[in-house]
Amino acid sequence: MLNSTRTTSLNPLLEGLRPSPTLAMSMRMRERAAAGEEVYRLGFGQSPFPVPEEVVQAAVAHIREKDYLPVSGLWPLREAVAAFHQRTSGQPCSPEQVLIGPGSKELIFNLQFAFEGEVLLPAPSWVSYAPQARLTGKQPRWIHTGAQHQWKLQPAGLEATCEQVGDVPKLLILNSPNNPSGQSFSPEECRELAAVARRYGLLLLSDEIYGELHHEGRHSCMAPYYPEGTVVTGGISKWCGAGGWRLGYAIFPPQLQWLQQAMSSMASETYSAVSAPIQYAAVNAFRGSQSLDDYLQASRRILKAIGQYCYRELRQAGITLPPPDGGFYLFPSFESCKGRWKHQTITTDRQLCEKLLDETGVALLPGSDFGCDPASLCARLAYVDFDGEKALQAVQNGHIQPEDAAFIPEYAPLIQQAVQRVREWTMP
Ligand code: PMP
Ligand code: GLU
């Protein structure tokens, strides 16, 4: 009896921990599709585009690399990431400042683990930040934003929370372009938030995994505005279509070397190093080339066209949402439909998503998974259910422009059907 109690005891930090909503939804979609049910996969946010051929070829060429690599990453890769960061943010960066990890998700977790103090999260924020904070024994503190501010953290809200929290170390996690809202901070917004961060001496984790997918190619990196306190994370999962390759990076300023060293030691005791062939291949991705620039350019135009289409169609149906300017997500609120639709039994966002999936096959994730009030009936829509390879080829070969009216029906028919189904479903 005693023995069985011992062997079944769970670390209390894991109590209530469930599979991450994004990955759980991805599994659920596979099961539904296998059972022959209709599915529109707007729940899981994965790049629809293939890994660029030259990056694939680099992985193939290095498949025999079998040795463990240095814990902080392959030196040429750290050089390439530093040069990439310098090119895209305008901020000087040396390879010593770069830490390579098995996806930025793991690096974000390790940073939260290494940090002692309060974790501040804007609501909505990406699904994994808060569970990660809890896993490290911290209760994240939400800072509510609002539809009237396009779900963007406001300097005044940040300031008020910093005052409330008082004199303890504080970590703020920001994400731009944003998952779930599809919104990006402008240079001015970065400057204003940075001023508050500096005033309160915050540690700022700027998750810029969608930076290269700003639809106009005009991403504002947070680090130049608050260099001494900002850690930037990114990777190849989104702009390079390589989510399953599991490679990300974090860039630390010299002032936060203590944190970088602690995270590198954690790496040495946990994952050791990222897979060698993938690190060699990623060197090519970060060095860049004309063909990678063309790939990115076409990816952005396609995402912009599809994002704008979904935005327009939903807005016309009376659903509230801000127009996206980066990444591949939308964050509609169905609250405005409440008075007029036939689904009077729906009072929470989870009920909404379940009923929508049941009745239309369209998968969305409830806003409460992102820290929002369940009663506000928000949901996240990932507009990635289309054949990215086919769309990219057609655009790059000049067969069609993403802005043409024929593009959506021809190259994103499932997105079109899904959005029309959502519209119809919300009608009286
Ligand atoms: N941040 C955000 C906002 C994300 O959507 C994701 C999902 N891939 C990640 C971080 C983690 O990315 P990865 O671990 O694949 O680098
Ligand atoms: N980032 C993706 C999403 O938000 C999924 C990948 C993940 O959660 O690790 O849907």
pLDDT in tens, 136-157: 999 999 999 999 999 999 999 9
Ligand nearest to the CA of 369: 2
The minimum-distance atom of ligand 2 relative to the CA of 25 is 10
Ligand nearest to the CA of 109: 1
Ligand nearest to the CA of 44: 2
User: 237 CB under 6 A from ligand 1?
Assistant: yes
Q: Which residue has the tokens 């008020």?
A: 160
What number is the average pLDDT over the span 223-251?
98
Q: Which residues contact 365 (CB under 8 A, 6 or more apart)?
A: 21, 22, 25, 43, 127, 180, 353, 379, 380
3-class secondary structure, 301: helix
| Ligand 2 mean position, distance from CA 12 (Å) | 25
What number is the average pLDDT over the span 320-331?
98
pLDDT at 8: 74
What number is the average pLDDT over the span 350-354?
94
Going by CA atoms, what residue is nearest to atom 8 of ligand 2?
22
**Mean predicted lDDT score pLDDT of the chain:** 96
> For residue 339, what pLDDT band results from cuts at 50, 70 and 90?
confident
Q: Which residues contact 94 (CB under 8 A, 6 or more apart)?
A: 82
pLDDT at 428: 84
- Are the C-beta atoms of 181 and 141 separated by less than 8 Å? no
Residue type, 29: M
DSSP assignment of 147-177 equals GGGTTPPPHHHHHHHHHHH-SS-EEEEEESS
> For residue 253, what pLDDT band results from cuts at 50, 70 and 90?
very high
Please tell me which residue, 339 or 133, carries the higher pLDDT value.
133
> For residue 4, what pLDDT band results from cuts at 50, 70 and 90?
low
Q: Which residues contact 329 (CB under 8 A, 6 or more apart)?
A: 45, 178, 179, 180, 181, 182, 380, 381, 382, 383
| Ligand 2 mean position, distance from CA 398 (Å) | 32
Q: Prior bond to 124 cis, omega within 30?
A: yes
What number is the average pLDDT over the span 315-336?
97
Separation in Å, CA 134 to CA 29, 122, 128: 27, 16, 10
pLDDT at 3: 55
> For residue 176, what pLDDT band results from cuts at 50, 70 and 90?
very high
Ligand nearest to the CA of 209: 1
- Are the C-beta atoms of 74 and 100 separated by less than 8 Å? yes
CA distance 293 to 277: 23
- Are the C-beta atoms of 69 and 276 separated by less than 8 Å? yes
User: What pLDDT, in 10s, does the model give residues 87-110?
Assistant: 999 999 999 999 999 999 999 999
3-class secondary structure, 121: strand
What number is the average pLDDT over the span 192-215?
98
Share of the chain above pLDDT 90, in %: 93
- Are the C-beta atoms of 181 and 370 separated by less than 8 Å? no
What number is the average pLDDT over the span 399-407?
97
Q: 55-288: which CATH number, 3.40.640.10, 3.40.50.2300, 3.40.50.300, 3.40.50.12160?
A: 3.40.640.10
CA distance 284 to 243: 16
Q: What is the DSSP letter of 136?
A: T
| Ligand 2 mean position, distance from CA 164 (Å) | 31
Ligand 2 pocket, residues with Cβ under 6 angstroms: 20, 22-23, 44-45, 105, 128, 179, 382
312 has a pLDDT exceeding 60: yes
Tell me the β-bridge partners of 100.
249
pLDDT at 413: 98
pLDDT at 6: 62
Please tell me which residue, 401 or 37, carries the higher pLDDT value.
401
228 has a pLDDT exceeding 60: yes
Going by CA atoms, what residue is nearest to atom 1 of ligand 2?
45
Assigned CATH for 12-50+291-426: 3.90.1150.10
Token digits for 232? 């930037």
| Ligand 1 mean position, distance from CA 424 (Å) | 32
CA distance 70 to 76: 11
For the chain, residues classed under CATH 3.90.1150.10 are 12-50+291-426
Q: Which residues contact 97 (CB under 8 A, 6 or more apart)?
A: 82, 251, 252, 253, 254, 260
CA distance 75 to 87: 18
What number is the average pLDDT over the span 188-210?
98
User: 206 CB under 6 A from ligand 1?
Assistant: no
2 has a pLDDT exceeding 60: no
> For residue 121, what pLDDT band results from cuts at 50, 70 and 90?
very high
Q: What is the CA radius of gyration of the chain?
A: 22
pLDDT at 175: 98
What number is the average pLDDT over the span 104-128?
98
User: 240 CB under 6 A from ligand 1?
Assistant: no
| Ligand 2 mean position, distance from CA 126 (Å) | 8
CA distance 361 to 28: 12
| Ligand 2 mean position, distance from CA 279 (Å) | 21
5 has a pLDDT exceeding 60: no
The minimum-distance atom of ligand 1 relative to the CA of 247 is 16
User: What pLDDT, in 10s, does the model give residues 20-65?
Assistant: 988 888 888 889 899 999 899 999 999 999 999 999 999 999 999 9
User: 104 CB under 6 A from ligand 1?
Assistant: yes
Burial of 63 (0-12, 13-18, 19+ CB in 10 A): exposed
For the chain, residues classed under CATH 3.40.640.10 are 55-288
Ligand nearest to the CA of 383: 2
CA distance 324 to 311: 8
| Ligand 2 mean position, distance from CA 127 (Å) | 8
Span of 21-30, 274-283, 341-350 with lowest mean pLDDT: 21-30
